[in-house]
Amino acid sequence: MISKLVVVLFGLALAGCASRSAQQEALVAPPPAGEPPDLVGLAPANIQAAFGSPAFVRKDGQTQMWRYDGQTCRAFFFFYGQTGLQSLRHVETLPRGTTMAADATCLGALRVQQPKVS
């Protein structure tokens, strides 16, 4: 009798877990479409000249992702194309921008400061 009770309670517990997983929250909405027009299409060397060396680089075949870390945000640059001919195709920031995935304020803060000419 006790073993049947344990089996029933265990079954009820599993059913409760299954119903919770079926009620998972919806995925985060995708970022707004659009790319920074002054950056998309640039070669990696141009991005490095504007933003310096990335904090992290990930290479998957002929695709690269560069991450830049700032005090208040992060930027992710995605390069596609054949090695040596890659160009920037997508930019995202955390936090996201309001009109596109990249926030202009974040990108401005991450740009390398050019020395002032006296």
Q: Is there a domain that residue 12 lies in? A: no
Evaluate whether residue 100 is within a structural domain: yes
Range of the domain at 82: 32-110
pLDDT band at 20 (very low <50, low <70, confident <90, very high): low
Q: Please tell me the predicted confidence (pLDDT) of residue 32.
A: 82
80 part of a folded domain: yes
Is the model's pTM score more than 0.75?
no
H-run or E-run covering 2: helix 2-22
Tens of pLDDT, residue by residue over 50-104, are 999 999 999 999 999 999 999 999 999 999 998 889 999 999 999 999 899 999 9
Q: Please indicate, yes or no, if residue 115 is contained in any of the structural domains.
A: no
* Burial class of 11 by CB neighbour count within 10 A (0 to 12, 13 to 18, 19+): exposed
The answer to whether residue 25 sits within a structural domain is no
Query: Domain total for the chain?
Result: 1
Tell me whether residue 59 is in a domain. yes
* pLDDT tens string 102-118: 999 999 999 987 655 65
